[in-house]
């Protein structure tokens, strides 16, 4: 067995193991963080309501992952433009009154009839990864040209980012920018253009944060949460209480106190705080290490890819899942100002879980094609 082939097969084993572990942690912690809410609300029927939903979404996501893994990832090149246009359409439609559903002051969900609500911005992450990987891989060395590469890239990304900011959703915006920039840089970006673009992006981030009242309040809460502990500082303080009270080994599975209506969005945006409270520092570190292994798998798959599209797509997906996890953990730990973003493969939510598993399936497809090529070369 060739070294390349053996590495490709080991990637698949490790990636599947890490994904399964994160899913198991997610399903367990979703139940732990929601059974009180479901038990106390007769509308949900029983305390396993959210667990059943998450299991259903996980089953659908795993099925989608298997399908994505079995299809040669290069077929996505023919669909890249259509997928991207569909994502843009979703981002526009969700802003239309009476079509987009508003929760917690953000209009991010599409709800059509009895169908479950869906977040177009989650699909946009996949579309951005596929589209830019295809687009930049076709440009080759010309991606370094200002008029042919950098400006069109910035304009297209700006349209996507603008639509997501209108929802508003700063957390997803940061992830989308990270995906696109990672692909652009790996694809051979002009270093001067890249540095200038980063500078412009940071200036835009400053305007986005200070230009909206609620974001300015979150920044103030981040800098001094104790100034308003019952108001803007509530999220950060309660998350830190959860993490701090877990100690080294945690209170024990199911024993969280913060989930009793103290910690906002416990099963979604702040589920990492529940992990820290119930499983302790050790459990939190294990989850972080799992995401580090996920990033490692994605980087190896990208490096072993024999074509530019596969390399760029793997880079974008690995960046997506890793950066999103980092933002979520950093927000809960009080390292970044509060922004709502789910922990991939762990948080409650169908859109994020299914799309994230499709992304893992694409990584598996790239890895399997790398292995198949190595096997053919050996023969």
- The residue behind tokens 């994605």 is 298
pLDDT-derived band at 212, boundaries 50, 70, 90:
low
Rounded to 5°, the CA angle 360-364-367 comes to 140
Percent of the chain scored above 90 by pLDDT? 51
Question: How many domains are contained in the chain?
Answer: 1
pLDDT of 302 reads 94
- The token duo for 343 is 């922990």
Q: Cα dihedral sign for 189, 194, 198, 201?
A: negative
Residue with tokens 């705080």: 273
Q: Which residue has the tokens 């802003």?
A: 95
Tokens of 280: 């302790």
What span, in angstroms and rounded, lies between the C-alpha atoms of 272 and 258? Answer: 12
Q: Which helix (H) or strand (E) holds 103?
A: strand 100-103
Q: Is the peptide bond before 115 cis (omega within 30 degrees of 0)?
A: no
For residue 375, name the pLDDT band (cuts at 50, 70, 90).
confident
Q: Single out the residue of 53, 52, 50 nearest to residue 34, CA to CA.
A: 50
| Top-confidence range, 44-48, 167-171, 172-176 | 172-176
Distance, CA of 124 to CA of 126 (rounded, Å): 5
Say what the pLDDT of residue 2 is.
Answer: 53
Residue whose C-alpha is closest to residue 366's, from 306, 320, 278: 306
Q: Mind giving me the DSSP string for 6-60?
A: HHHHHHHHHHHHHHHHHHHHHHHHHHHHHHHHHHH-GGG-STTHHHHHHHHHHHH
Alpha-carbon distances, residue 357 vs 15, 23, 79, 130, 351 (angstroms): 11, 10, 19, 15, 10
Cα separation, 108 vs 122, whole angstroms: 10
Q: Output the pLDDT for position 74.
A: 93
Contact 357, 61 (CB under 8 A): yes
If you average pLDDT over every residue of the chain, what do you get?
86
Task: Report the C-alpha gap between 112 and 97 in whole angstroms.
Answer: 13
Helix (H, G, I), strand (E, B) or coil at 231: coil
At residue 141, does pLDDT exceed 80?
no
Measuring CA to CA, which residue among 350, 345, 348, 317 is closest to residue 110?
350
In whole angstroms, what is the distance from residue 15 CA to residue 18 CA?
A: 5
Confidence of residue 344 (pLDDT cuts 50, 70, 90): very high
> What pLDDT was estimated at residue 53?
93
Helix, strand, coil abundance in the chain, percent, nearest 5: 75, 5, 25
pLDDT band at 1 (very low <50, low <70, confident <90, very high): very low
Residue-range definition of the domain harbouring residue 45: 3-378
Pick from 273, 314, 312: nearest CA to 294: 314
Q: Is the pLDDT of residue 213 over 60?
A: no
Confidence of residue 210 (pLDDT cuts 50, 70, 90): low
Q: Are 157 and 316 in contact (CB under 8 A)?
A: no
Which range scores top for mean pLDDT: 41-50, 273-282, 369-378?
A: 273-282
Determine the distance from the C-alpha atom of residue 175 to the mean position of all C-alpha atoms in its chain, rounded to a whole number. 7
Angle at CA of residue 177, ends 351 and 195, nearest 5°: 170
Determine the Cα–Cα distance for residues 282 and 2; give it in Å rounded to an integer. 38
Judged against a pLDDT cut of 50, whether residue 313 lies above it is answered with yes
Nearest CA to 358 among 61, 2, 12?
A: 61
pLDDT at 45 over 80: no
pLDDT in tens, 88-107: 999 999 888 877 777 766 77
Distance between CA atoms of residues 196 and 375, nearest Å: 43
In this prediction, residue 182 has a pLDDT band, given cuts at 50, 70 and 90, of very high
* Distance separating alpha carbons of residues 143 and 191, to the nearest angstrom: 11
Residue 118's Cβ-side half-sphere holds a number of Cα atoms within 13 Å equal to 15
């Amino acid at each position: 067995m060739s070294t390349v082939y053996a590495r490709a097969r080991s990637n698949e084993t490790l990636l599947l193991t890490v994904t399964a572990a994160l899913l198991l942690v997610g399903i367990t912690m979703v139940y732990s963080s929601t059974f009180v809410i479901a038990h106390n609300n007769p509308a949900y029927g029983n305390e396993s309501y959210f667990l059943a939903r998450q299991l259903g979404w996980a089953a659908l996501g795993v099925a989608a992952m298997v399908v994505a893994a079995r299809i040669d990832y290069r077929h996505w090149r023919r669909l890249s433009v259509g997928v991207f246009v569909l994502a843009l359409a979703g981002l526009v439609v969700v802003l239309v009154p009476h079509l987009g559903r508003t929760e917690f002051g953000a209009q991010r969900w599409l709800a059509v009839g009895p169908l479950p609500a869906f977040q177009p911005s989650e699909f946009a992450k996949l579309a951005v990864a596929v589209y830019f990987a295809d687009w930049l891989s076709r440009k080759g060395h010309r991606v370094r040209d200002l008029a042919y590469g950098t400006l069109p890239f910035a304009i297209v990304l700006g349209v996507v980012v603008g639509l997501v900011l209108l929802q508003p959703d700063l957390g997803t915006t940061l992830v989308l920018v990270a995906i696109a920039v990672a692909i652009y840089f790996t694809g051979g970006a002009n270093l001067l253009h890249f540095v200038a673009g980063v500078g412009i992006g940071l200036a835009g981030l400053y305007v986005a944060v200070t230009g909206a009242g609620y974001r300015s309040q979150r920044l103030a809460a981040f800098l001094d949460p104790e100034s308003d502990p019952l108001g803007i500082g509530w999220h950060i303080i309660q998350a830190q209480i959860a993490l701090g009270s877990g100690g080294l080994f945690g209170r024990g599975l199911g024993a969280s106190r913060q989930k009793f209506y103290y910690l906002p969005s416990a099963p979604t945006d702040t589920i990492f705080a529940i992990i820290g409270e119930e499983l302790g520092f050790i459990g939190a570190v294990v989850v972080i290490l799992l995401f580090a292994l996920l990033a490692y798998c994605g980087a190896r798959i990208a490096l072993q890819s024999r074509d530019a599209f596969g390399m760029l797509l793997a880079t974008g997906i690995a960046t997506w899942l890793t950066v999103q996890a980092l933002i979520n953990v950093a927000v809960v730990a009080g390292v970044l100002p509060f922004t709502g973003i789910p922990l991939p493969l762990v948080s409650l939510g169908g859109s994020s879980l299914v799309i994230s598993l499709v992304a893992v399936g694409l990584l598996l497809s790239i890895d399997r094609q790398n292995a198949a090529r190595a096997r053919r070369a050996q023969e």
